[in-house]
Chain A
Amino acid sequence: MVIVIFGASFLTFALIYISPGDPAEMMFRAQEIVPSEEALERAREEMGLNNPFIVQYGNWLINLLKGDMGYSYINTGPVTDILRQKIPMTIKLASVALLFLVMFSFTLGILSAIKKSKFLDYAIRGLSLVGISIPAFWLGLILIYLFVVKINLFTITNPGDFKGVVLPGITLAIPLIGRYTRQIRAAILEQLSSDYVVGARARGINERRIIFAHVLPNSLKSIITLFALSIGVLLGGTVIVENIFSWPGLGSMVMSAIVNRDYALLQGYVIFMASIYITISFTVDISIQALDPRVRLKGDKSQ
């Protein structure tokens, strides 16, 4: 895990390093000064831009470990402060979406599996296909048109309250709901066809009890793995959704950073996202081992 974070940081730094902009010139431009060649050269020297690549990377990494991600000249503030200010908004949006995701995909997935090859199953499968195929950015705009312009049910001007968070949350969740409904259905069906379910049925155990007491816990492992993989999609989705709903979080921030060529901020964003993502994947790996003794034993054997 440490190696992967280290590699990720290296990759991010290398990307910014080969980017066409000159940070020294950018600093002056943000202050609306036209610098002389001499001033530029001095600034480059001060910022350590004349050092070899590996020295620059080392300094940058040391600062990063100290919690210093550099300075955003466009937003005039340390990158860490700007991130700290935006992160809660994105977490709020992502949590609401995650809530919708868990609520709907479990309900629909279980229903669909139980009613396999019945009308309800086909209807749910049709809906999940729609969910997977619909472009989130279009869905968001249509939802705004229907619920904000046509009937004044929700607002999009006030991200703080409940009315403001529903639409972006749904927009972020729907493509994932489509995907998970299918996968939860598949995971449950796989369990339903196994021997222990046949045995339980033969002993006359209540179908509901079979599903909730036996099938669901057993399929939880594959479902959790899937959720972990979806975190990346969720994080990426925030960029588009925040953009549509003018949500003042990381996604809107990174877009303005790109437009303004604010590389320090962009770098901070990528590092933050990568570390969240890696941490979540790692946590999931561990919790699966804790949940399932079979994986744990297999792991021990191979060591």
Chain B
Amino acid sequence: MIKKKHKRISFVIVLSIAILTILFAIIAPLFAPNDPLATDFLSILQEPSDEYPLGTDQVGRCIYSRILHGGKVSLGMTFLLLILIFILGVIIGIAAGMADGIIDTIIMRISDIVLSFPGIVFAIAIVGILGPGMLNTIVALSVIWWTKYARLTRILVIEVKNREYINAGIIAGAGKFKLITHYIIPNIISPLVVQLALDIGGMLLTLSGLSFLGLGVQPPTPEWGNMLSEGRAYLQTAPWLLIYPGLAIFIVVAIFNILGDMARDILDPKHL
């Protein structure tokens, strides 16, 4: 009992840190000392100094300001994508779970085919064909990742749909729509939200990885992945171009991974 309480308290702390991280990413640009896009050819590849706290890059842009601005792009894309996939996956999953027979089979076969590709390879291929860019990356990743939530939702729906309280709802005269929104969704939502929390870190890594490859967010827009990709050539002469954006990704991903783990532990202690 005490241990459980202890767990909840640490969860609340990590959750607050995560929310603060998100809030900070939104307001961070206000703290940026310099314009993230302003180039200054008199001070290229400078080491960290008072004017440029984390140094400057190959065209004299302030790395600190670029990281602060980049957070909004990286995190913003991650959450946009996750919300998109979540909604898409849950709707399709409920449709598959509620409908018997042919619709269910069709949806499941489609997701089998999508899952038969190694996810990231498929994403790279789709972005490669559509052309690099932020929007295309989001499209490519949604095409793949909805299957995960659709499958999870379907299993959960099938599990609850024959329970007594659902029958009680039907007897009470609830329509199909009301049955889904009032009886089914509240009973399946928590594992889905835990899954969502577990996926934040991985999604951020995937998105910045694609930007690193030059497929996602395009320069000069600052994003942590593409900052690393631009800084690669200066590995020997100016390592600070690489250290800080990567550190930013690492810390944020770690925070969300801890959050996801804790959410899962509280909901499903068996996993510990």
- On A, residues with C-beta under 8 Å from B are 3-5, 7-8, 11-12, 15-16, 18-20, 129-130, 132-138, 141-142, 144-145, 149, 186, 189-190, 231-233, 235-237, 239-240, 243-244, 254-255, 257-259, 263, 266, 269-270, 273-274, 277-278, 281
In the complex, besides A133-B201, A138-B246, 8 extra interface pairs with C-beta distance below 8 angstroms are A4-B113, A134-B253, A137-B229, A232-B117, A235-B120, A236-B121, A273-B117, A274-B118
Query: A277: which of B109, B117, B201, B270 is its contact (CB, 8 Å)?
Result: B117
The interface stretch among B10-18, B31-39, B77-85, B231-239 is B231-239
Interface residue SS majority, chain B:
helix
Interface range on chain B (Cβ under 8 Å from partner): 35 or more
Q: Which residues of A contact B247 (CB under 8 A)?
A: 138
Closest 8 CB pairs of A and B: A236-B120, A138-B246, A232-B118, A258-B128, A7-B113, A133-B254, A133-B253, A19-B129
Query: B118: which of A11, A19, A189, A233 is its contact (CB, 8 Å)?
Result: A233
Known contacts A8-B116, A129-B254; decide if A270 and B122 are in contact (CB<8 Å).
yes
Q: Which residues of A contact B250 (CB under 8 A)?
A: 133-135, 138
Q: Which residues of B contact A236 (CB under 8 A)?
A: 118-121, 124
Query: B236: which of A129, A149, A255, A259 is its contact (CB, 8 Å)?
Result: A149
A129/B257 in contact, CB under 8 A: yes
A266/B129 in contact, CB under 8 A: yes
Q: Complex formed: what's the CA distance from A186 to B265 in Å?
A: 12
User: Taking the complex as formed, is B141 at the interface, i.e. its CB lies under 8 A from any CB of chain A?
Assistant: no
A273/B118 in contact, CB under 8 A: yes
Q: Which residues of A contact B228 (CB under 8 A)?
A: 135, 137-138, 141
A135/B122 in contact, CB under 8 A: no
A–B complex contacts, Cβ < 8 Å, 16 sampled: A4-B113, A7-B113, A129-B254, A132-B257, A135-B209, A136-B209, A137-B228, A145-B236, A145-B239, A149-B235, A233-B118, A254-B124, A254-B125, A255-B213, A266-B129, A273-B117
- On B, residues with C-beta under 8 Å from A are 109, 112-114, 116-122, 124-132, 201, 205, 208-209, 212-215, 225, 228-229, 232, 235-236, 239, 242-243, 245-247, 249-250, 253-254, 257-258, 261, 270-272
Q: Which residues of B contact A263 (CB under 8 A)?
A: 129
Q: Which residues of A contact B122 (CB under 8 A)?
A: 270
A239/B124 in contact, CB under 8 A: yes
B129/A141 in contact, CB under 8 A: no
Known contacts A7-B113, A235-B121, A270-B117; decide if A138 and B249 are in contact (CB<8 Å).
yes
Q: Which residues of B contact A269 (CB under 8 A)?
A: 121, 125
Shortest C-beta distance, B230 to chain A (Å), equals 12
Q: Complex formed: what's the CA distance from A266 to B125 in Å?
A: 7
Q: Which residues of A contact B127 (CB under 8 A)?
A: 258
Interface residue SS majority, chain A:
helix
Known contacts A141-B232, A277-B117; decide if A135 and B246 are in contact (CB<8 Å).
yes
Q: Complex formed: what's the CA distance from A255 to B120 in Å?
A: 13
Shortest C-beta distance, B227 to chain A (Å), equals 11
Q: Closest chain B residue to A275 by CB distance?
A: B116
Shortest C-beta distance, B1 to chain A (Å), equals 18
A15/B129 in contact, CB under 8 A: yes
Most buried by A among B120, B250, B261: B120
Shortest C-beta distance, B224 to chain A (Å), equals 8
Known contacts A19-B129, A142-B246, A235-B118; decide if A137 and B253 are in contact (CB<8 Å).
no
B118/A231 in contact, CB under 8 A: yes
Q: Which residues of A contact B225 (CB under 8 A)?
A: 135, 137
Q: Which residues of B contact A16 (CB under 8 A)?
A: 129
B235/A144 in contact, CB under 8 A: yes
Q: Complex formed: what's the CA distance from A11 to B124 in Å?
A: 14
A186/B271 in contact, CB under 8 A: yes
Known contacts A4-B116, A239-B213; decide if A133 and B128 are in contact (CB<8 Å).
no
Shortest C-beta distance, B248 to chain A (Å), equals 10
Most buried by B among A19, A135, A240, A263: A135
Q: Which residues of B contact A141 (CB under 8 A)?
A: 228, 232, 235, 242, 246
Q: Which residues of A contact B114 (CB under 8 A)?
A: 11
Shortest C-beta distance, A4 to chain B (Å), equals 5
Q: Which residues of A contact B271 (CB under 8 A)?
A: 186
A130/B254 in contact, CB under 8 A: yes
Shortest C-beta distance, A281 to chain B (Å), equals 8
Q: Which residues of B contact A18 (CB under 8 A)?
A: 129
Q: Closest chain B residue to A19 by CB distance?
A: B129
B117/A135 in contact, CB under 8 A: no
Q: Which residues of A contact B205 (CB under 8 A)?
A: 133, 135-136
